[in-house]
Amino acid sequence: MNEYQLLTFLTIADLQSFSKAAKYLNVTQPTVTSRIKVLEEIVDCELFQRIGHEVVLTSEGELFKDYAQKILLYMNQSKEISNMTRAPVIRVGFSPGYCYSFIVELLKTIKSIGNIDIQVIEGYDSVDINERLLAGEVDLIFSRDLIAGNEDIESEFLFQNELVVLLPSGHPLNHYPQLELEHLNHETVISFRRRSNLWKLIDEKLLAVKGLTRIDVDNNEMLLKAVANNIGIGVIPKLGINHPDSKNISIRKIDALTSISNSVYVQYRNSPHMNNLAKKITYAVIAHKYAQI
């Protein structure tokens, strides 16, 4: 039994709808259904029943609701006790796709604030790392998907992480002063985790390209090496590129791709332990970013 399951149960009880609860919690409806199924297996009873178009609590569900509220309250209180008694520790979560050099520079920035132990956690995608923040598994995250409508989470926009096209240094397309989508016809395009929400937006643009060959890889480093070895053309957010990696790579832009919004947000739990620390980190990151520019 975890915080996700209890919060989902209480949200459905209030909204009397699985679909409305999914929208409110910013997750898919199958995720909501799965959480309730697991919770029902744990307590060994059905918690909801359908009456017409509404979902209402069973008699067992009514009894469990009071327990769920108290358990969730105790969970949140125990987190605060832990924060008050331990040495300052910050668990920093990232969506995948940031290059190691950016993460290292960011950790240096956090370390410069002083007297903070740091744990770095990478999520599978923005949705995953957002859920980890909501569950209290991380304290502060950098992700592209905004957590909206949750008073326990503070969110601040940092900057746009624009998409760029990577070409092998000797590729013929380097001779074009301005690249367009049509120049990618019959090329091999290399992606990183194409099932992500960001790549769904990219693929919508690439529908206009004819005869593409696709290669999907598991990390940015593999993508960069593939491009450097003339295997194909990469499409990647700019913060996914290490400066040493760009030695055998040309970094170009295609307006149709750079127009895709890829915002970077810093998001953190709203608590006395985090607020001041998070703001210091945010200001330091912004200062570092624009000092480089």
**pLDDT bracket for residue 227 (50, 70, 90):** very high
Q: What confidence score (pLDDT) does residue 270 get?
A: 81
With contact defined as beta carbons under 8 Å apart, do 208 and 181 qualify? yes
Residues 6+ apart with CB under 8 A from 22: 28, 29, 31, 32
Classify the phi-psi angles of 96: left when phi > 0, otherwise alpha if psi is within -120 to 50, otherwise beta.
beta
State the Cα–Cα distance between residues 48 and 55, nearest whole angstrom. Answer: 6
Q: Which helix (H) or strand (E) segment is 214 a member of?
A: strand 213-217
Q: What are phi and psi of 257, to 5 degrees?
A: -90, -40
Q: Which amino acid is at 227?
A: V
Does pLDDT of 249 surpass 80? yes
Q: Mind listing the pLDDT tens digit for each residue in 129-176?
A: 999 998 888 888 988 888 888 888 988 888 888 999 999 998 999 999
Domains within the chain, CATH numbers bracketed: 3-83 (1.10.10.10), 87-160+263-292 (3.40.190.10), 163-258 (3.40.190.10)
Sign of CA dihedral 5, 11, 16, 18: negative
Q: What confidence score (pLDDT) does residue 251 get?
A: 92
| pTM above threshold 0.95 | no
